[in-house]
Every structure is written in structure tokens, then in C-alpha cells.
Chains A and B, each alone.
Chain A
Amino acid sequence: MYCALHNIRGSMGISKDIFDEMYRADGSTSDAYTEYSNWFDEQDAGWLRRKDAEADDSFRRTGITFNVYGEDEAEERLIPFDMVPRIISAREWRKLTRGIEQRVSAINALLYDLYHRQEIIRAGRVPEHLFRNNDAWLPNMVGFTPPGGVYTHIVGIDLVRTGPDEFFVLEDNARTPSGVSYMLENRETMMAMFPELFTRIPVEQVSNYPRRLARSLAACAPKMTEGKPVVAVLTPGIYNSAYFEHAFLADQMGAELVEGSDLRVVNGRVQMRTTRGFKPVDVLYRRVDDEFLDPLTFNPDSCLGVPGIMDVYRAGGITIANAPGTGVADDKAIYSFMPEIVEFYTGEKPLLPNVQTWRCADADSLKYVLDNLGELVVKEVHGSGGYGMLIGPTASRMEIQRFRKKLEANPSNYIAQPTLSLSTCPIFTKKGLAPRHVDLRPFVLVSPNGIEITPGGLTRVALKKGSLVVNSSQGGGTKDTWVLKD
């Protein structure tokens, strides 16, 4: 029965203040979405609803889950998937990739510099205390150059949009960005659910990401490698929230998925226990934080890491991706200096702007932030996952008062940003399409052969009406992200 499709679309409720990526304020469809919108209007509403229900089953069946820790046992949950794709035009994407490339090369240059001559500090562009006081700063990496000179083999750049041409970088994820498996599985799911869409609309492929990742990691193998580099993925284990992704990537790359207990330092190499005895690992794609990597160097209680791996690393016996110590480049205090950093290393103006950021460590900024708490988003410098932050406009008076005390007690622990009116993209609900705020995390690979950006990424979407928090740990969902071919 053909019914209510126009109602479905009609309930979008386009707001004039918020940029919707599919529908313009006058109700017309943006160019990138035209063909999709035509297709959508031809579909039967009941059929779409059934498809929506099928998607969940398919994720559950294939085991695409993340773990949540409850009171007594770990529970596996699905990240909600929305079947309306997020579409980016070829022109928009070209612009984004240039900006991302510039930013990622600047981050690598910054890391090399911080761990070597520290020119940027001598030049007075970035204050020294910024990284000296940072827990992610590893003094014993000073003077050491990782194989191939690469620090951030895998980077995720979080982007937000506020208008047709207004993209901003919200965050740089230079440690162990996650979510790439959702980029890949969301595409698989969409192709299985709506094959005809992909014959009608030319969409760039994402499926070669694992092959590119394997090649990129192998290109960073240490000099000691004999023959074809052996790559392994180090996971904290099946109870880690991102375990599915670790297993997925290892599987797709044809690499072993190892835990700390599988590895041991033997004859100056990090080796894994196989059924034939110990075998050297050349490149370790670790999904374990620095502090758990080596109980001899960092947290002595860690059983997730490998005793002695840092000695092997320093002696050139293994490549660790991302390099230990990269975390210093992705906290929010460093973020506020990114425009200066990009300019310092590339000699160019940044192509992708930062979101305006007040460093509460500065007295003037702090005063401004305290005076305007109700309009700002205040974040912890080292926080992540959407925790420990204040969203002024949606916070209660009590929450703001409580936050004010925390901020006054330790101003340098916070930065503040204006509340952006993030763009929206429609999601499919039982009542029809409805606009929800989105962000975008493209995935970037760095090797001595250059920087590769997969055309697509992870679109996270806040499923609650009006909500700006897209994190999956707080009720966010994901969408397939399409980059259109020219």
C-alpha cells in the first residue's frame, strides 16, 4: 500500500537556524541527495519499516556489537544503525581531503619536533608546559624516531558542519581511533538491504580500507624485518568494548589477533606463541593504550601488554602503531593551538578551521567562559567519549553551578567552545524522516608512502531529538556515509 510517504517526509520539520544536509529550508532537496530523495519517494513506507527492522537482525546475527559493562556481567549491545545514508558530494570531499591531509601531516611533524629539537617551542608558538604536564608525554621517547618516521599510522579526524561550506575540526584522534569497522559494515549492510541504490547512485568504495591498512602498516616495518613483514593486532581481549573491531580488522587484513599473553620478548624480538613455536612480529597494530603497553616501563600492574616491548621498540626490533607518545598531540589543549601548529609546519593557512576555543588557563578567557557558561560547551582537556563536559544551553541551573565550582577550582583542566548549531541529516523513524544532528569521522592512514584517506567515514548521529551528543556510549547511532563519484 502506498501511503503516507509524503507525510513521512513532511514530518521533517526543517528549522531555519539549523543546516539540514538533505533538505534546504525552502523544502527543496540539496544536490547530493537528489537521486536518493527520488528513490526514497518511490518506496513503500511499510516496506521501508520492515527493512529497518531487518537491519538490526543482520547486525546481531553477524555479531557486530560493542560491550557495555553493567553491574555483574558484560552485555553486548548493538550500535543503532540508521538506514538513511549521509551523502557528501565529490566537490565537498575534495575540499575536506585537502584540509585533512594538511592537518595530519602537521600532527606528524609536531610529534617529530616535540620528541626531537622542539623548534615550535623555541619559536614561542606553543608553550612548553602544554606537553610537559601532559600524561601522554613520554620523556623516554625523546630523540627516538619511529620506523619510517611515522607517529600516527591511523588517525580519525572528527568533523562537524554548520552550513553548506562550513566544516570544522572538532577533535583529532591520534591514539587509537575506533569505528572504522562500522564504516565498513554499515556499507555492507546498505548494499545488502538496498542493492538498487548502488546501481542508481555512483558511490565511492570503502571496502579496500583493510587492504590499504595492511599495506600501510607493512610499509612501516622496522629494518630488522626478514622477508614479508608480519603484522599483528594487539587487543585487550574479548571484554573490551571495541573487541569486535579488533577481530574484524585482523580478520580482514589476514593478521593474527594477539593478546598480551601471546607475546613475549625472545632474542631481542617481540614474538608470538604459535603452534610451531615463537615467531617474530614486525608491526604491532596495538589497540591498547600506552600506559598498558609495557609493565616494565609504564603501569606495572598491566597484564594487557608485553614486558620488555619498549626496549625492543627503542632498539628498532618492532614497529608499534600508533607510536607510543602520540597521545600528546590529541588532547584539547593542544587542539586549541592547531591553527598555529598547521601554519608552523606547513607554511600554509589551515584549510580546515578549528572550532573557536577558549583556554580556561588564560585569565581573560576564564572570565569570559565563567560569564557565559549558559551558552558554551566546556570540556575537560583530557576527556573523551562525551563525558565530563557541560553543554550550557541544555544544562540545568544546578548543573551549571556545580560545573562552575569545578572550573574555578582547576581552570587549566578545561577548554570552552561555542555551542555550534551542528548540521542535521534525516533519520528514519516510525513516524517518518526526522532531522538529527550528525558528525563525521573520516579515517586517515599514514605511511612513508604518503597519506591515504578513505572516501567515506563514520557518521555518528544523535538519535534523541535536539541532542548534540553523538557518542555511541551515550545513545548515539551510526549511518552509512557516501562520498559521491564525480
Chain B
Amino acid sequence: MLGRTAHGLFWMFRYLERAENTARLLNAGLRMALTRDLSTAEDEWRSVIATLALQSQYEAANDDYSGAKVWNFILRDKDNPSSIRSMFGAVRTNARMGRNAISGDLWEAINESWIQLDEKLSRPVGQGAVGDVVRMVRRAATMVHGAMDGSKLRDEGYHFGRAGTFIERADSTARILDMKYYLLLPSLNYVGSSLDTGQWESVLRSVAGDHVFSWLNAGQIHAHGIVEFLVLDDRFPRSLAFCHGALRDNLTALARLHGTEGKSNEFMRETDIELNEMTTEQIFDRGLHEFLTDYMASHAKIASAISEDYRFLS
């Protein structure tokens, strides 16, 4: 496979994942804003933009944090390369470039989703329609993953794509947790207060973990439990531990297909060892923020090692 094609597949799935996570985060933000008064609603929107690391871009183009401005910026702004519309466009462009490395099913799933989304996002989105768009994005992602699962040859292309998915997903979960944790820092001592609970619920909702968590914990919400769930529970497909394990499998498969290990496998093992022996207590002792920052940095290191090992760019 061409290095450029591998690069395209990796980023195709990163963008797909990022678009989906952005949609979920937006949906959770919308719900939070609805349950707040006007000024705290603005804080909510500010925090959504901050979690997506889009403050400077957003503020350059908008003078306040009203809901409609925020969600249109996130959903459809053409000048915002991280808008869902731009990102889905990037998914499709990468799919077109790697057209002969993906299955027909996969291409059609992507192309059809893009046609629908692009049409839906060609006009400003009203409050009532935000949920529709979010559902469209979620469904698109489900369809693409399904087509990948059911029709894609398990060659290196499959593993480059999946590696992109899990690196991006882990990064997203870590970032959401990190942002909210900062915001919630003062309230950590008041576990169980109503503001606190609402914010934590929102964290869970933005990673599609609210129902499962509630089920596992008999409806109780507490900070330590959530951190344990999102970081260490390898049964939950958006937890750091799960994504990490899946990424490890993809990188192992790539090394096996190529008959040789690269820097990416080496870095993976280093991160493995640390994560395996971790407990929630240790994470809090070390500081959740420090832990998450280190984790994201190690993933960035793995991502760039993949790019070098498999000649993405040169």
C-alpha cells in the first residue's frame, strides 16, 4: 500500500471519530444549556468551545456565546476546519483519494452520509434541528464502522483506519475529562451536590456512557467512579483502557503483516506498562490533569511514530 494511502485511511477515520465526538459533545452541551439560566448557559457554550480547543477561532468570528452562534459554528462554519461539515468533507476527500483501498460498501456509506449531511448543513440550523444533525452524524459513523467491519479486507489498510479511530477516540475522552475536571475542581469536595452531578452527567453523555454508567452503578454518580469508568474500565468502548487495548491490537497486527516492529510498537509497550498497573487512587494522587496530559502526549508520540514507521509522508 502507498504511504500516502495509509496516511489517508488513518486520517479518514480520525476525522470521522472527531466529527462524531464533536456531535456528542455538542448535544451534551445543548442539554446542559437548556437546564441553566441565560448567563450560565453562556458558560456552558464557552466550555463546549473550550473543550474543542476552538476559543481563538470562535472569538475571532463571533462576539458572544449565544447558543445558535455556537452550534452553527461547530456544525457548519466553512471557515472552521473543525466544523462537522468540514470534517465530514475531509472524511470523504480521504475516502476518494484512497478509493481503491476501501471497499465499495465503505465508500458508499461515506458518500451517502456526506451527501445527506452536506445538504442538511447547507442552511443555518435551528435549535429544533440540532438533535437531527447529531443523530445523522452518529448514524453515519455507525454505518461507516459497520461497512468497515463487514466488508473491509483485514489488510494493513484496515488497521491504519482502526488505529486512527482509537487514537482519536482516546484523545477525545481524555480531553473531555480533563476540561470538565478543571471546571469541577472546586466541587470535588462536594461530591453529590446538584451542580456537580449535572456536570458529571454531561461528561458521561458526551462519551455516550450515561446509560451504561448508571446501570453499572445503580444510578449513583460519583467522581471517582466516573474516572475509574472512563479511564480504567476496559469493557467500555470509549474508555482510555479500551481504546488503548484496541490500538495495541492494531499496531501488533501491522507489525505482524510487515514482519517487523517499529517505533510505534515500542512506544505502545511503554505506555502499556504504565496503564496496566494503575488504580484510580494512584491517578488522583498523581493528579488527574497530569495523568491525562501525559497520556495524551504519549498517544501523540505513538501517532507520529506510526506516520514514520509506515512512510505516511516521506
Residues of chain A touching chain B, judged by Cβ–Cβ distance below 8 Å, are 60-63, 238, 243, 247-248, 250-251, 255-259, 261-262, 272-277
Q: List 17 A-B contacts (CB under 8 A).
A: A60-B115, A61-B111, A61-B115, A63-B107, A238-B96, A238-B97, A247-B100, A251-B100, A256-B2, A257-B100, A258-B2, A262-B3, A273-B314, A274-B311, A275-B156, A275-B310, A277-B311
**Bound CA–CA A238/B100 (angstroms):** 13
Q: Within the complex, which residue of B3, B100, B111 is in contact with A274, where a contact is CB–CB below 8 Å?
A: B3
Smallest Cβ-Cβ distance to A264: which chain B residue: B314
**Bound CA–CA A185/B104 (angstroms):** 14
Other CB < 8 Å A-B pairs besides A61-B111, A243-B96, 9 of them? A238-B93, A238-B96, A256-B100, A258-B2, A262-B4, A273-B2, A274-B3, A275-B310, A275-B311
Smallest Cβ-Cβ distance to A63: which chain B residue: B111
CB distance B100 to A272 under 8 Å? no
**Bound CA–CA A275/B9 (angstroms):** 12
Residues of B within 8 A of A258 (CB): 2
CB distance B96 to A63 under 8 Å? yes
Residues of B within 8 A of A275 (CB): 1-3, 6, 156, 258, 310-311
Q: Within the complex, which residue of A63, A247, A257, A273 is in contact with B3, where a contact is CB–CB below 8 Å?
A: A273
CB distance B99 to A257 under 8 Å? yes
Nearest 7 pairs of A and B residues by beta carbon: A251-B100, A247-B99, A275-B310, A273-B3, A63-B111, A250-B100, A275-B6
Interface residues of B in 1-56 (CB under 8 A from A): 1-6
B108: Cβ under 8 A from any A Cβ: yes
Given A63-B107, A256-B2, A262-B4: A276 touches B100 (CB 8 Å cut-off)? no
Interface of B is mostly: helix
Residues of A within 8 A of B314 (CB): 273
**Residue among A243, A256, A261, A277 with most chain B CB within 10 A:** A256
* Size category of the binding interface on chain B: 20 to 34
Q: Within the complex, what minimum Cβ distance (angstroms) separates A184 from chain B?
A: 14
Residues of A within 8 A of B59 (CB): none
Interface string of B86-130 (1 = CB under 8 A from A): 000000010011011000100110011001000000000000000
Q: Within the complex, what minimum Cβ distance (angstroms) separates B85 from chain A?
A: 13
Smallest Cβ-Cβ distance to A243: which chain B residue: B96
Q: Within the complex, what minimum Cβ distance (angstroms) separates A196 from chain B?
A: 24
Interface residues of B in 271-314 (CB under 8 A from A): 310-311, 314
CB distance B4 to A261 under 8 Å? yes
CB distance A276 to B115 under 8 Å? no
Given A259-B4, A274-B311, A275-B258: A61 touches B108 (CB 8 Å cut-off)? yes
- Count CB-based A-B contacts (< 8 Å): 56
Given A238-B97, A251-B100, A258-B2: A276 touches B108 (CB 8 Å cut-off)? no
CB distance B2 to A62 under 8 Å? no
Interface string of B175-203 (1 = CB under 8 A from A): 00000000000000000000000000000
Smallest Cβ-Cβ distance to B96: which chain A residue: A238
**Bound CA–CA A257/B311 (angstroms):** 17
**Bound CA–CA A61/B109 (angstroms):** 9
Residues of B within 8 A of A276 (CB): 258, 311
Q: Within the complex, what minimum Cβ distance (angstroms) separates B119 from chain A?
A: 11
Residues of A within 8 A of B6 (CB): 275
Residues of A within 8 A of B1 (CB): 274-275
Q: Within the complex, what minimum Cβ distance (angstroms) separates B258 from chain A?
A: 6
Residues of A within 8 A of B108 (CB): 61-62
CB distance A274 to B2 under 8 Å? yes
**Bound CA–CA A259/B100 (angstroms):** 14
Residues of A within 8 A of B104 (CB): 62
Smallest Cβ-Cβ distance to B115: which chain A residue: A60
Smallest Cβ-Cβ distance to A253: which chain B residue: B100
CB distance B111 to A262 under 8 Å? no
Smallest Cβ-Cβ distance to A272: which chain B residue: B2
**Bound CA–CA A270/B5 (angstroms):** 18
Given A258-B2, A273-B3: A61 touches B112 (CB 8 Å cut-off)? yes
**Bound CA–CA A274/B5 (angstroms):** 9
Smallest Cβ-Cβ distance to B1: which chain A residue: A275
Residues of A within 8 A of B93 (CB): 238
**Bound CA–CA A162/B288 (angstroms):** 81
Residues of A within 8 A of B112 (CB): 61
Q: Within the complex, what minimum Cβ distance (angstroms) separates B141 from chain A?
A: 18
**Bound CA–CA A282/B40 (angstroms):** 65
Q: Within the complex, what minimum Cβ distance (angstroms) separates A329 from chain B?
A: 31
Q: Within the complex, what minimum Cβ distance (angstroms) separates B104 from chain A?
A: 8
**Residue among B6, B93, B311 with most chain A CB within 10 A:** B311
Smallest Cβ-Cβ distance to B157: which chain A residue: A275
